[in-house]
Amino acid sequence: MTKLKDPKDLLLAAIFAAFAAVTFIEGRELEMATARAMGPGYFPKMLALILLLIACALAIRSFFGNLAESKPKPSIRVIASIIGAALLFGILIRPAGLVISIIVSVIVSGFASDGFQWKSSLLTGAVLAAGSSIIFIYLLGQPIPLFGEFF
């Protein structure tokens, strides 16, 4: 039998599985519907499913240990870049629109990397902005301004 290497991961897996089970039980009466026409039970059940998958992965990892050599500790620059990018997106979405918000967020989050390059960040932001615009505005019909009030 395999020995338990990380009891904290197993405990966390049990907690996640318990939350997923409670969510499934509480939402059993809610209609699921389809991904295109979501019912009130779709979102909680999908989140519970994802949580259950994470619980399974944690339970497996608790027996085999962490396969990574060492865990690098994130610096303040990394944390600030990621949180700042998310905050900027939320602040800029209405006045600047979807395209500018995504491009700015990608550039700011790029500062988290040691190998930050303007050219690749701008290209990535442009591709993500184009894809998001097509999906959310044109295909799903979301009322998000494309370029916002500034333009």
**Same domain? 54 vs 14:** yes
Residue 123 lies in a domain: yes
Q: Are 104 and 124 in contact (CB under 8 A)?
A: no
Number of independent structural domains in the chain: 2
Residue 147 lies in a domain: no
**Same domain? 37 vs 58:** yes
CA distance 103 to 84: 13
pLDDT band, residue 38 (cuts 50/70/90)? confident
Please give the model's pTM, rounded to 2 decimal places: 0.59
**Same domain? 60 vs 80:** no
Range of the domain at 18: 7-64
141: left (phi over 0), alpha (psi -120 to 50) or beta: left
Residue 145 lies in a domain: no
For residue 136, pLDDT over 70 is answered with: yes
Amino acid at 16: F
Residue 30 lies in a domain: yes
**Same domain? 81 vs 135:** yes
Residue 69 lies in a domain: no
